[in-house]
Homo-oligomer: A and B are copies of this chain.
Amino acid sequence: MTTTLKDISKEAGVDVATVSRALNGSYGVHKATRERVLAVAKRLNYRANLTARELAVGKSHTLGLLVPDIGNPFVTEVVRGAEDAAYAAGYHILLCNSYLDSAREVQYMRSLLDKRVEGILMHSVQTLSNTEVEELSNSEIPVVLLCRSPSASNFSGVCVNHFEGGVLAGEHLMELGHRKVAFLSGPRDHGNFIEQGKGFIKAVTSVKDSAPPVVLNGPPSFDGGYQLAKKLLEQNHGVTAIFAANDVSAFGIGRAIFEAGLSIPDDISLIGFNNVELANVVRPPLTTIHQPKYEMGQAAVEILLGLAKSGRLGVPEQREFGVRLVKRSSTSAPPKKSR
C-alpha cells in the first residue's frame, strides 16, 4: 500500500491540507508541526503522487517529443539537446518514435494531447495532415516544429537554412574545380531537401562552364544513399563530386563508391550534410555542412516552454540557425582527366 497525505495526516494528527503545505514548504505552517509531518512522511516512506498533483494543479511538467527515428545519430543529437534543456527546466520528456509512419504519428500525437503534455516537439515531420494540424490547433498546447523548413502552418519552428547549406556545398565544389556534380537527394516532396537542392543548384549553375547537377531522389538513409550512388555510377555521367542529402546517406554513397573500385576524394569528392559526430570517424573524414543539432534541440525546448508559460500561442516563433562548411578530406580537386 502506498502511503498518501491522508495517512500522514492521521498519523500526525493534522489535517491533510496542513500536511500538503508542510511537505511543499508553503507559508503558514508552524515549524514544529512541519517537522513532525516531515518525520512521519519519512517514516512512512511517503512519495508524492504527481498524477494527483497534476490533476489538481493542471500542469504535467512533461513535454512530448516526436521523432522519425531515434536510431539516426542526427536525430539523437537534437534529442540530447532537448532532453538537457527539459531537465534543466524540471520537465520530463515522452519519447515517441514514428518511423515517419503517419498512422503512428497521429496516434502518438493524440495520446500526447490526452496526456496533457505542456508542449509537443515534432522533429522533421514530413507533412502534417489536416487532421493533425486541426487537432493540434484545437488543443491549447504549443507545438514546435524541428528541423523542418518554415511552412505555411502557424506553428513555431527551429530549423537551419537548408538553402544556404546547399549553396555552401555547391560553392565549395565549384571552388575546387568540379564542373560535373550530382545531388543525391531525399524524398522528392520533402521541404528540407528541396531547399537544399535549390541552393546547391543555384551555386553550381552560377558558375558559367559547369553543367547543371544530376539529381536523384531516394530515402535519405545509409542504404538509400548506397542504392542511389550505385545507380548514379551505372548511369555514368562522369560526375566528379557528389553532394549527399545527409551524412548517413553519404556513408552509404561512400560504400558504393568504394565497391565500384573508386576512391574518395581522388576519383570522386563527397560532401555530406549535418556533420554527424561520426563524419569525423569514417575514412576519409567527411567534408560536410555543419548544423548545430544540440543547440537546436535546446532552443526548441526553450521556445516551447516560453510559449507554454506565456500562453501566447497565437504568436509562433521561428528560429533559424546558421550552417557552415566543415572541410575534411573527402573533397579535393577533381582528377586531372575525367573518366
Contacts and interface: CB of A to CB of B under 8 A. Distances in A.
Interface string A187-226: 0000000000000000000000000000000000010000
A172 interface: no
A24 interface: no
Nearest to A285: B255
A309 to B, nearest CB: 18
Number of copies: 2
A2 interface: yes
A96 B47 CA distance: 19
B116 A45 contact: no
Contact of A111 (B50, B114, B251): B50
A152 interface: no
Interface in A109-127: 110-111, 113-116
A95 interface: yes
Given A93-B94, A140-B2, A115 B51 contact: yes
A114 B51 CA distance: 8
A77 B87 contact: no
A255 to B, nearest CB: 7
A52 interface: yes
Given A50-B114, A76-B76, A95 B95 contact: yes
A48 interface: yes
Contacts of A79: 70, 95
Contacts of A251: 278, 281
Given A80-B97, A97-B84, A92 B114 contact: no
A10 interface: no
Interface string A48-60: 1111101100001
Interface size class of A (residues with CB under 8 A): 35 or more
A237 interface: no
Contact of A52 (B50, B55, B94): B55
A51 B47 contact: no
Given A94-B94, A97-B84, A71 B277 contact: yes
B80 A71 contact: yes
Contacts of A283: 258, 282-283
A51 B54 contact: yes
B71 A76 contact: yes
A93 B92 contact: no
A73 interface: yes
B97 A94 contact: no
A6 interface: no
Nearest to A255: B281
Contacts of A116: 49-51
Interface of A: 2, 45, 47-52, 54-55, 60, 62, 65, 69-71, 73, 76-77, 79-80, 83-84, 87, 92-97, 104, 108, 110-111, 113-116, 138-140, 222, 251, 254-255, 258, 277-278, 281-283
Given A73-B73, A282-B282, 5 more contacts: A49-B116, A50-B114, A258-B283, A278-B281, A283-B283
11 contacts: A49-B55, A49-B114, A50-B115, A65-B95, A69-B80, A83-B97, A95-B95, A222-B277, A251-B281, A281-B282, A282-B283
